[in-house]
Structure formats: structure tokens, C-alpha cells
């Protein structure tokens, strides 16, 4: 899983106990997803500009060790699965020293501007290098041809 971003924990990110508030990890997952997509050749802005949206339909986070104010965190992200109308991402948040703080995943539906589920657009597959799903039941695809 590639490192796609870094973030320094702000005081505003912490709770009354001095540790990062749990919901901030989901914000950092989004940061990782957006930067991963950009590295694969398709900025989120371009996707939404073409009328395609990726609402989150499921999110999981495993909290393993707390992050604290001023920690420098590494955000890692990958595409785990791509089906006919959905895509799953995986994430890892690590302290600068390499200690795993949290990991998780999000599942997203491909929708049009009205919220109607649509198939993965060909331009999305072409720009990111992801192969087309292989079965009518939503077979999986790798992040690059041949994976």
C-alpha cells in the first residue's frame, strides 16, 4: 500500500483527553482516497465535473493506537476491489515512526448527479488504468492492468 499523503495532527484534531478524535481518521481516509485517485490520473473534481459521484455506502475503522497533537502521520491508500457499480478502498494511518495507528476501508457506489446508481464509467477505468470488471456479477479488478 503506497503512502499518498502526510498530515500533522493539529490541536483542533484532538479531544479532551489529548488524543485525536475518532472521526478525524475518516477525514484522513478521504484525504488518502483523493490523493490516490489524483496519482492514478483522475482528480475527484474531474469525476464530479463529469457528473459522477462516489458516495460512501460503508466505512470501517480499526483503532489500534492513539495519535496525539503534533504527530506526523503517513496516510496510505489502495484500491481493493472494483465491481460494476462500486469501488472499495483500503487505508492505513501510521505515525512517522511506522507504528500503525488505524486501518480500515470504505465502499463507494458510482452514481449520477441524481443519486441513481450507474456502472463504472469507461473514462474512469481508462484514466486510472483499472481493468473492467470481469463478470456480470461484478468481478474484481486490479489497480493496473495485469494485477
Scan for cell 506526523, then name that residue. 72
DSSP letter assigned to residue 23 = T
Q: Please write the tens of the pLDDT for every residue from 91-121.
A: 999 999 999 999 999 999 999 999 999 999 9
Q: Which residues pair with 26 in a beta bridge?
A: none
- Catalogue the active-site residues: 15
Note the pLDDT of residue 145. Answer: 38
Q: Please write the tens of the pLDDT for every residue from 47-96.
A: 999 999 999 999 999 999 999 999 999 999 999 999 999 999 999 999 99
Note the pLDDT of residue 132. Answer: 67
Task: Tell me: pLDDT of 11 over 80.
Answer: yes
The reported pTM is: 0.87
Note the pLDDT of residue 126. Answer: 84
Note the pLDDT of residue 96. Answer: 92
CATH number of 2-128: 3.10.129.10
Domain boundaries defined on the chain: 2-128
Note the pLDDT of residue 87. Answer: 95
Distant-in-sequence, close-in-space partners of 129: CB < 8 Å, separation ≥ 6? 40, 41, 143, 144, 145
Amino acid at each position: 500500500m503506497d503512502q499518498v499523503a502526510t498530515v500533522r495532527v493539529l490541536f483542533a484534531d484532538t479531544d479532551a483527553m489529548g488524543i485525536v478524535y475518532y472521526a478525524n481518521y475518516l477525514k484522513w481516509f478521504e484525504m488518502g482516497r483523493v490523493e490516490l485517485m489524483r496519482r492514478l490520473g483522475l482528480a475527484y473534481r474531474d469525476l464530479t465535473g463529469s457528473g459522477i459521484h462516489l458516495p460512501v455506502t460503508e466505512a470501517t475503522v480499526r483503532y489500534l493506537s492513539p495519535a496525539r497533537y503534533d504527530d506526523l502521520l503517513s496516510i496510505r491508500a489502495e484500491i481493493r476491489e472494483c465491481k460494476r457499480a462500486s469501488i472499495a478502498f483500503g487505508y492505513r494511518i501510521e505515525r512517522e515512526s511506522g507504528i500503525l495507528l488505524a486501518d480500515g476501508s470504505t465502499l463507494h457506489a458510482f452514481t449520477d448527479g441524481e443519486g441513481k446508481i450507474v456502472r463504472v464509467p469507461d473514462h474512469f477505468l481508462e484514466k486510472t488504468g483499472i481493468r473492467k470488471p470481469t463478470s456480470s456479477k461484478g468481478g474484481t479488478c486490479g489497480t493496473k492492468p495485469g494485477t
